[in-house]
């Protein structure tokens, strides 16, 4: 996947150089500047993500929302979904197994929804772009909306 | 003065370090695993970021504001919103890449409301992901979540646009307009 990205970038770079060396230089300078600017925030995010994944392995998450049900289970699911940052290709198969083992549909939908929309670990990065107020606002709204998503999915799956 | 600037620049990772350190001491075993993961994650991110930033740099230099603003700016209406959803849904990669992309889009005149739609769509509506979700959790689950999320994204973007006052908005936009 990544090599496509490199291939594409290389292609555009060559094109850009052919059209104007001056502009290409400018583009690379901009790229370097944005990259350097973002490094501290990225380091913070990676620190938080690595630790949350290490301290909350899938097994632990499963034990939290696999057995419990009801509102408490949903709240737990939402907190876990907000704190962790699990890529979809791991999260979905895991959710499938949990559902097969009797986890509630609503909880699972809340978990998946917060996982995607709410990011506590990525908040520092987001804030470095949009400021803390906008970041808290977006994540807060997404957090509460995830319960709406959970309810809607629970309703339609029950149909 | 200089030291203070450095401190300000590195305050986020420092604060994060202070948050995670107690955990590392509490369970050194997990801490070790976390360090290993950190190294792995840094390598992954270092692999993705350079081409992304170079592409963004090229976009920034070659695509003039006039080519973007009418389609996604303040007066782009429904077309701008649809375009923002489609762009977010067709993206690939984790959410943290969406922020630098959004930065360049703002610089090219995209309205903040559309930026929030774009980020929302990127976070929950990516097409490869929904296909995988349907495969695992079923079409009813996946599609319901998808479309209820779409409604939420549009509502939240509207609300964000209303709640943030003009000063805050100009501040966000100004942050990206330095050059």
> How close B41 gets to chain A, by Cα (Å)?
7
Q: How confident is the model at residue B7 (pLDDT cuts 50, 70, 90)?
A: confident
Angle subtended at Cα A158 by Cα A107 and Cα A76, rounded to the nearest 5 degrees: 10
- Give the integer Cα–Cα distance in Å for B160 and A112: 23
Average pLDDT rounded to a whole number, residues B79-103: 90
Please check whether residue A106 touches B, CB under 8 A: no
Q: Hey, of B108, B134, B135, B136, which one would you mutate to test binding to chain A, going by the most A CBs within 10 A of its CB?
A: B136
Task: Output the six-digit token pair for B32.
Answer: 């070790």
pLDDT in tens, A87-144: 777 788 888 877 777 778 888 999 999 999 999 988 989 998 898 999 999 999 999 9
- Give the integer Cα–Cα distance in Å for B73 and B110: 4
| pLDDT on residue A29 | 93
- Considering chain B, what is the average pLDDT of its residues? 89
Boundaries of every domain in chain A: 41-158
Task: Say if the Cβ atoms of B102 and A129 lie within 8 Å.
Answer: yes
Q: How confident is the model at residue A65 (pLDDT cuts 50, 70, 90)?
A: confident
Cβ–Cβ under 8 Å, residues A108 and B140:
no
Please check whether residue A79 touches B, CB under 8 A: no
pLDDT in tens, A41-56: 888 888 888 888 888 7
pLDDT in tens, B120-130: 999 999 998 89
Angle subtended at Cα A9 by Cα B73 and Cα A119, rounded to the nearest 5 degrees: 60
| pLDDT on residue A66 | 58
Closest in B51, B99, B140 to A157, CB measured: B140
- Give the integer Cα–Cα distance in Å for B57 and B66: 17
Contact residues, chain B, for A41 at CB < 8 Å:
12-13
- Considering chain A, what is the average pLDDT of its residues? 86
Indicate whether B53 pLDDT > 60. yes
Closest in A116, A125, A133 to B168, CB measured: A133
| pLDDT on residue A112 | 92
Closest in B20, B116, B137 to A96, CB measured: B137
Q: How confident is the model at residue A151 (pLDDT cuts 50, 70, 90)?
A: very high
Please check whether residue A46 touches B, CB under 8 A: yes
């Amino acid at each position: 996947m990544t090599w496509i990205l490199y291939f594409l970038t290389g292609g555009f770079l060559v094109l850009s150089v052919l059209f104007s060396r001056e502009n290409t230089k400018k583009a690379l300078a901009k790229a370097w500047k944005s990259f350097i600017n973002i490094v501290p925030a990225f380091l913070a995010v990676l620190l938080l993500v690595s630790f949350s994944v290490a301290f909350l392995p899938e097994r632990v998450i499963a034990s939290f929302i696999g057995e419990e049900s009801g509102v408490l289970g949903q709240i737990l699911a939402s907190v876990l979904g907000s704190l962790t940052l699990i890529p979809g290709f791991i999260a979905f198969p895991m959710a499938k197994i949990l559902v097969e083992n009797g986890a509630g549909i609503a909880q699972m939908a809340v978990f998946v929804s917060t996982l995607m929309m709410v990011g506590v670990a990525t908040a520092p990065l987001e804030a470095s772009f949009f400021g803390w107020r906008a970041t808290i606002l977006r994540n807060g709204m997404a957090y509460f909306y995830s319960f709406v998503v959970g309810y809607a999915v629970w309703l339609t799956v029950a149909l | 003065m200089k030291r203070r600037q450095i401190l300000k620049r590195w305050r986020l990772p420092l604060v994060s370090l202070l948050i995670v350190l107690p955990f590392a001491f509490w369970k050194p075993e997990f801490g070790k695993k976390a360090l290993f993961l950190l190294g792995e994650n840094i390598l992954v991110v270092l692999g993705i970021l350079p081409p992304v930033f170079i592409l963004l740099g090229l976009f920034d230099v070659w695509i003039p504001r006039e080519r973007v603003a009418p389609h996604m700016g303040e007066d782009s209406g429904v077309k701008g919103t649809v375009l923002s959803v489609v762009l977010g849904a067709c993206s690939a990669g984790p959410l943290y890449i969406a922020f630098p992309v959004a930065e360049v889009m703002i610089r090219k005149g995209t309205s903040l409301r559309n930026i929030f739609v774009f980020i929302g769509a990127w976070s929950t509506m990516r097409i490869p992901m929904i296909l995988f979700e349907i495969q695992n959790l079923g079409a009813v689950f996946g599609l319901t979540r998808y479309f209820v999320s779409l409604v939420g994204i549009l509502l939240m973007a509207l609300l964000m646009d209303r709640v943030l006052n003009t000063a805050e908005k100009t501040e966000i936009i100004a942050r990206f307009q330095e050059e």
